[in-house]
């Protein structure tokens, strides 16, 4: 390789500088949340926390560790994420595979109906009444009722349509049935898009709050996000009425719960992120 020109050097310096700045901007909220969660109440309330923690205490984390409701909600969220993502993937993969087939009877109409759901919605109140009528008020109801997102099905369908029919025909000649063609040809050859859709579904399930808060009646089945909201309201009410003398600020407890809730995402996301851009590009080529 030849030497870089001045313009190329300037471009690279600017590019790396901007990327570094964006990385720091993305990292700062996490560092700040961690610092507040382990800082003393006085240090936080007097505005001493800018980046690093002050008067370090782990009292907020001790509260979380011994709070049974936190672990119940955490387990529920893991349940929603694991089983919900698996169910959503199964429905989306099989549906996208069928919609990618030219031989599917009424294929254009089915695809139109799929896209139609992205354009128009019945509205919040009809949706709520519909879910209540179908008794979507428990863990399995939440998993099944929110199983499919049209956008993800379209990503998978478009990716399946890029796979040459010759490969499928060769597999059939070798004795593969429809299920084997689907599971051993189409899915493996679409690994990047499948990983991307898995990430979409998993994060959606992990962050699920609104519908769970509205529909789930049993407090033992509420996810972590609802627990977090309830803790904010509970401790804020205590602060407003002067009934608390905690060794940590209320926000420290909230940030501690947030840190605990994002640990699985921080661990898993880097392994899937490399498929993200590739998967969206591959699945979004065709209309």
Q: What is the mean pLDDT of residues 85-107?
A: 91
Domain that holds residue 88: 6-283
Residue 104 lies in a domain: yes
For the segment 240-285, what is each residue's pLDDT rounded down to a tens digit?
776 666 667 777 888 888 888 888 877 877 776 666 555 555 544 4
263: in domain: yes
163 in any annotated domain: yes
- The dihedral over CA atoms of 183, 186, 188, 193, expressed in degrees to the nearest 10, equals -120
Q: Tell me, yes or no, whether 1 lies in a domain.
A: no
When the pLDDT of each residue in the chain is averaged and rounded to a whole number, the result is: 84
The CATH number covering residue 49 comes to 1.10.3720.10
Q: What's the number of domains the chain is made of? A: 1
Give the tens place of pLDDT for each residue, 194-248. 888 988 898 889 888 888 988 988 888 999 889 888 888 877 777 777 666 666 7
Task: Give a yes or no: residue 64 inside a domain.
Answer: yes
Q: Is residue 204 part of a domain?
A: yes
pTM, full prediction: 0.80
Condensed to tens digits (0 to 9), the pLDDT of residues 173-184 reads: 888 888 888 988
CB atoms within 10 A of CB 275: 19
86 within domain boundaries? yes
Q: Is residue 271 part of a domain?
A: yes
pLDDT of 26 > 90? The answer is: no
| Residue 219 DSSP symbol | G
Reported confidence tier of residue 75, pLDDT bands at 50, 70, 90: very high
> Which positions ≥6 away from 102 have C-beta within 8 Å?
none
Question: What's the pLDDT score for residue 276?
Answer: 59
| pLDDT, position 14 | 92
Indicate if the alpha-carbon torsion angle 92, 97, 101, 103 is positive or negative: negative
Residue 274: predicted pLDDT: 64
């Amino acid at each position: 390789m030849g030497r870089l020109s001045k313009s190329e050097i300037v471009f690279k310096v600017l590019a790396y500088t901007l990327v570094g700045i964006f990385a720091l901007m993305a990292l700062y909220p996490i560092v700040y949340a961690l610092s507040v969660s382990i800082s003393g109440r006085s240090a936080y309330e007097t505005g001493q926390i800018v980046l690093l923690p002050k008067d370090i205490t782990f009292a907020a984390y001790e509260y979380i560790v011994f709070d049974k409701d936190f672990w119940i909600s955490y387990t529920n969220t893991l349940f929603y994420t694991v089983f919900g993502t698996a169910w959503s993937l199964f429905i989306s993969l099989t549906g996208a595979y069928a919609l990618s087939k030219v031989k599917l009877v009424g294929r254009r109409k089915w695809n139109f109906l799929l896209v139609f759901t992205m354009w128009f919605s019945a509205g919040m109140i009809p949706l709520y009444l519909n879910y209540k009528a179908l008794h979507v008020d428990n863990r399995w109801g939440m998993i099944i009722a929110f199983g499919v997102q049209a956008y993800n099905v379209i990503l998978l369908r478009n990716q399946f349509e890029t796979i040459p029919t010759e490969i499928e025909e060769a597999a059939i000649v070798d004795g593969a049935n429809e299920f084997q063609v689907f599971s051993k040809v189409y899915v493996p050859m679409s690994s990047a898009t499948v990983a991307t859709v898995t990430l979409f579904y998993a994060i959606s399930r992990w962050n699920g709050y609104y519908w769970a808060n509205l529909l789930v009646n049993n407090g033992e089945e509420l996810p972590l996000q609802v627990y977090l909201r309830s803790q904010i309201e509970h401790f804020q009410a205590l602060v407003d009425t002067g009934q608390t003398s905690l060794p940590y600020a209320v926000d420290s407890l909230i940030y501690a719960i947030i840190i605990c809730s994002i640990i699985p995402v921080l661990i898993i996301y880097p392994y899937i992120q490399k498929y993200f851009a590739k998967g969206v590009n591959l699945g979004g080529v065709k209309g």
